[in-house]
Amino acid sequence: MQVSDPLRLIDWDIKKFLGVVLATQVAALILIRMDSVGFQVPALRQLVCFIYLTFIPGAVILRAMNVRKLGPVESTLFTIGMSLAALMFTGALLNLVGPHLGLATPITILPIMAMLTALVLVFSVACCLRDGKGEDKPLLDIGEALSPPALFLYIVPFLAVAGAYLMNLFNENALLAVMILILAAIVLLVGFDRFIPGRLYPLAIFVVALSLVLHNALISTYINGWDIQYERYYASLILNNGFWDTSLFRVLNAMLSIVMLAPIYSIVMNMDIAWVFKLAYPALFALVPLGLYEAFRRQANEKVAFMAAFFFTSLVVFYTEMIQLARQEIAELFLVLVILLLINQSMDKVKWSLLFIIFSFSVVVSHYGLTYIFIASLIIVWVMLRLGKAIRLKGLSDAGLNRRLSLALIIPLVTFCLAWYVFTASGNAFNTILVLLATMISNVKQGFLNPEMVQGMALIIEGGSVSALHKAYLYLMMFTQAFIVIGIAAIALKNDLARIGKEYFAFSLVMVALLVAGISIPYVSSALNTTRLYQITLIFLAIFFVLGWLGVSWLIGRVVRRNNPAMPIAFRALSIFLAIFLVFNTGLVFEVFRDVPISYSLNKTVDSAVFNSAEVAGASWIMRERSPIVVDSKANNYYLPPIYGDWNRLQLLRGLNASQAAEIPISGKLFEVSYVFMGTYNVLNDKVLLVKDNGAICRDYYVRADDVSKDRGLIYSNGGSEVYNRRF
């Protein structure tokens, strides 16, 4: 039995297409109205409105642009990307024009739904005028969608959700361990050509990505991590005020991925902002490996693409640090959409250029760090390919050069970037990068390859010192990086491993150069953190790990006189390696052998920025109850005492009120009129985590909690957190 493929909604017959669009629009409005009168159906509004926000605006815009005839993966990703871009930019426009229309609080439910409804209706009319006929060609085989392999894959994310809740409620990690082993089994099944057919590889990659991000994101009912606490703070300002205050010249306040996208999802779905960051954003971020799979598939084959995307997804940064950086989650999704455009040779030039502008501009308003890397790489690649006319290597495809990428697109992108950061962040982002560049240049001689000044080199030299298993983990990571380099060389010298285009290869060379700089030049890797820098470069380089593996396997085959182009043994060996790589990165191997744990989702003794209800209650209490100290009653000046916390607990305080939290200093000297907040880890272990930062390298160490609070009295305790004040 076949039905219209929902993944290719933009290709449906116009009547069916508009029927789905308008039905979803009406359903969202009805559910919102039902909630407003007190009649709620649990989770229904959240589900329907998530689908509405994520798919419908993008679908009508793409259909009106007549962007058609895409594959199911590309069609889905472009639809979602266009929806997110529409929400960010129209939300910003509403915030701008709303006050002129008498709307004091434009970022609230009624103005937002009026804006979205108008957008959907206008573009629906445009769809009718542009394409009144259309054909219902894209079909989905129900038997395939409900086949045993597909049903097996559908179950895995639910195991991640259930396992996280078991860990939260009973400190039981068995189900999460089973889920991780199933993910390892998936790559083995693919490598050995068993059970999972090639047509389900995209589903398998999405399932792996979604399961991994959820198994960490759902630990605790509060948002976890560092930067995301600031992101929650700025998103909450919009929710509390009902508008975006552009006069707050902070870089984070300029990121529409935080100050516009997150509040719109929260308002329309009627979901707490914390759960938007814990559920909606990870679900969107899980699309990044899916997009990479499609990009890799177009340049190699299905199995190479699966292995490369699985390798990218398996890296611990993907489902730990990245889910704590909401703005980068969205920016990476847009970057992958740009990559898909760069390797797309068939789309009409005008449509291609318009999509490139929309998605590139969306990167700019989503994450400044990734924007700098993207734009710098873009300019370097343009120079390499247009002026140098270089890279005449055997393994590169001449057809891979997308001549539509020109200065006519790069200059508007750079101009928009400059204008956006100047007018919304008062140039703070540029000041930061200029200071960083100046610091790099001034320290390059004395700090070159110096582990005291180069974070990447410090990780290589000092990593794995905890135990033999951790040393093996470090070697695994270095092994994959070596194969990336081999893959770069292999594709340049051998022409039958893949069809890597010139542009993509040039970008990859820039990423390799960035990695080399990260382990040799001071302050390069510390600007983003070495792990995040590596994760960003893998967006381009993950495929070269697989190609390096295949290149070495081909060479070994030639030596032993077994020249088999298919190399099934190589893929089987690679799948075994990736299964091992996954259990190391998730921390499961350390739990099994009772080694020093690294995963807070598998072991609650790991000290991390993960917070329980007792800690949230304690932090909220002191934020609410502390009294200002009057400095000058006549001038109405007062001093609000800071609240100190160690490095991890500080993140919780910042999320509640970013401007009034302070890190416990290395010296241990605190302001006399101040408070000290202790979380569960501090209370149970009598330890506080301090960080010594020399600007390039951060080193962690612990001191006794009693030494910090010894001169202060306990004023609050709930069993899981404590607050101390000075003794009077």
Tens of pLDDT, residue by residue over 252-300, are 999 999 999 999 999 999 999 999 999 999 999 999 999 999 999 999 9
Is it the case that residue 132 has pLDDT exceeding 60?
no
**More reliable by pLDDT, 359 or 40:** 359
Q: What is the pLDDT of residues 656-673, one digit of tens each?
A: 875 678 898 887 788 878
In a domain, 278, yes or no: yes
Domain identity same for 368 and 263: yes
Same domain, 192 and 330: yes
Count up the domains in the chain and report the number.
Answer: 3
Q: Are residues 586 and 682 in the same domain?
A: no
pLDDT band at 131 (very low <50, low <70, confident <90, very high): confident
Residue 212 sits in which domain range? 147-592
pTM of the model: 0.94
Instruction: Identify the domain boundary among 98, 120, 140.
Output: 140
Task: For residue 286, give the 3-state DSSP assignment.
Answer: coil
Contact criterion met (CB below 8 Å) for 640 and 628: yes
In 179-239, at which residue ranges do the beta strands (DSSP E only) sit? Answer: none
Range 393-416 average pLDDT: 73
Name the percent of the chain in helix, strand, coil, to the closest 5: 65, 5, 25
My answer on whether 231 and 379 are in the same domain is yes
Question: CA 349 to CA 413: how far, in whole Å?
Answer: 17
Stretch 533-542: mean pLDDT: 95
Structural domain contains residue 336? yes
Q: What distance in Å separates the CA atoms of residue 495 and residue 515, rounded to the nearest whole number?
A: 25
In angstroms, the Cα distances linking 190 to 141, 568, 721 are 22, 11, 47
- What pLDDT, on a 0 to 100 scale, did the predictor assign at position 279? 96
Q: Are residues 324 and 399 in the same domain?
A: yes
pLDDT tens per residue across span 447-463: 555 555 555 555 655 66
pLDDT tens digit sequence for 690-716:
987 665 567 788 999 998 888 888 999
Residue type for position 676 = V
Is residue 112 domain-shared with residue 153, that is, in the same domain?
Answer: no
Q: Is residue 607 part of a domain?
A: no
Of the segments 210-219, 411-420, 559-568, which one has the largest average pLDDT value?
Answer: 210-219
Per-residue pLDDT tens digits for 108-125: 999 999 999 999 999 999
pLDDT range class, residue 83, cuts 50, 70, 90: very high
User: Residue 387: inside a domain, yes or no?
Assistant: yes
Q: Is the pLDDT of residue 396 over 80?
A: no
Examine the domain organization and report whether 402 and 457 are in the same domain.
yes
- Other C-beta atoms within 10 Å of 728: how many? 4
Q: Is the pLDDT of residue 74 over 50?
A: yes
Evaluate whether residue 605 is within a structural domain.
no
Q: What is the pLDDT of residue 50?
A: 98
Distance CA 237, CA 225 (A): 19
Please check whether residues 301 and 349 belong to one and the same domain.
Answer: yes
Is 537 domain-assigned?
A: yes
| Residue 684 pLDDT exceeds 80 | yes
End residue of a domain, out of 85, 115, 140: 140
Nearest CA-CA partner of 112 in 224, 200, 228, 242:
242
The tens digit of pLDDT for each residue in 176-190 reads 999 999 999 999 999
Q: What is the pLDDT of residues 597-627, one digit of tens each?
A: 999 999 999 999 999 999 999 999 998 888 7
At a CB cut-off of 8 Å and minimum separation 6, what does 362 contact? 81, 84, 85, 88, 330, 331, 334
DSSP letter string, 640-697: ---EEE-HHHHHHHHHH-TTSEEEPPTT----SS-EEEE-HHHHHH-EEEEEEE-SS-
Same domain, 569 and 637: no
Reply yes or no on whether the pLDDT at 518 is more than 80: no
My answer on whether 333 and 440 are in the same domain is yes
530 and 619 share one domain: no
> What is the mean pLDDT of the segment spanning 378-390?
77
Mean pLDDT for 61-85 is 94
Within this chain, do residues 171 and 100 fall inside the same structural domain, yes or no?
Answer: no
Contact in structure between 28 and 268 (CB atoms under 8 Å): yes
Question: Of 112 and 446, which is predicted with more confidence?
Answer: 112
Segments in 98-147 forming alpha helices (H): 109-130, 142-145
Q: Is the pLDDT of residue 400 over 50?
A: no
| 612 three-state secondary structure | coil
Is there a domain that residue 602 lies in? no
Query: pLDDT tens digit string along 149-159?
Result: 999 999 999 99
- Of 533, 562, 592, the domain-final residue: 592
Region of 262 on the Ramachandran plot (φ > 0 left; ψ -120 to 50 alpha; else beta): alpha
CB 238 within 8 A of CB 263: yes
Tell whether 404 is covered by a domain.
yes
DSSP secondary structure letters along 314-372: HSHHHHTTGGG-HHHHHHHHHHHHHHHHHT--SS-HHHHHHHHHHHHHHHHTT-HHHHH
